[in-house]
Amino acid sequence: MNSSVEASRRGMRVTKPSDREIRIERIFDAPRDRVWRAFTEPALIAQWWGRGNGVVVERMEVERGGRWRFVEQGPDGTHGFEGRYRDVSPPERLVHSFEWDGMPGHVVIWTVTLEDLGDGRTRVVNTSIFHTTEERDGMLSAGMESGMTEAYAALDRVLAALR
């Protein structure tokens, strides 16, 4: 496979399956168990979730009903994010709420599925559902796509280091 095909197959695809959803698909060059660890272990999350910014994992109880709270240390100050786990089904499905301190009470539900591609790679599909179309479009305007691209590039590096 030449490098441009490889790049396109690993490239992130962002779509809008409905007027209140965002779907982000990305393939990672690592087996599913390793990707699952990177999504569920605090020490690993801290290395990629902040897209290069420091992340303090204040709380991360990866179980149904458990809470999580991450504080990102950005150049413009700190930003807190938090939520609660709805479903934790290793190594294939993680569902949790997501709320940014800057917009309290605006709650998004993220469903992350990990598909074993059988060749040592994993497809991650992240579907987020919002209460309104305005909230969905606000998240996109705020730079969600570039933020996820950066976070997933950092995740590539974390996964490579876990080899």
Our finding on whether 106 is near a second copy (CB under 8 A) is yes
> Which residue in 79, 80, 53, 85 sits closest to 69, CA to CA?
80
Instruction: Please say whether the beta carbons of 28 and 138 come within 8 A.
Output: no
What token pair was written down for 111?
Answer: 């469903």
Binds a second copy (CB under 8 A): choice among 48, 49, 85, 152: 85
Q: In the bound complex, what is the minimum distance in angstroms from residue 87's beta carbon to a second copy?
A: 7
> Which residue in 79, 120, 83, 121 sits closest to 99, CA to CA?
83
Binds a second copy (CB under 8 A): choice among 105, 141, 161, 163: 105
CA atoms 58, 147, 83, 135: torsion sign: positive
Q: Which residues within the stretch 13-42 sit at the binding site for a second copy (CB under 8 A)?
A: 20
Q: How many residues bind a second copy (CB under 8 A)?
A: 24
Binds a second copy (CB under 8 A): choice among 46, 56, 107, 151: 107
Q: In the bound complex, what is the minimum distance in angstroms from residue 94's beta carbon to a second copy?
A: 11
Cis geometry, peptide bond prior to residue 17 (ω within 30 degrees of 0)? no
Q: In the bound complex, what is the minimum distance in angstroms from residue 77's beta carbon to a second copy?
A: 15
Strands (E), 33-153: 54-60, 67-74, 77-89, 93-100, 108-116, 122-129
The interface region with a second copy, picked from 50-58, 98-106, 116-124, 154-162 by CB under 8 A, is: 98-106
Give the residues lining the site for a second copy (CB under 8 A). Answer: 20, 64-66, 83-87, 95-97, 99, 101, 103-107, 109, 129-132
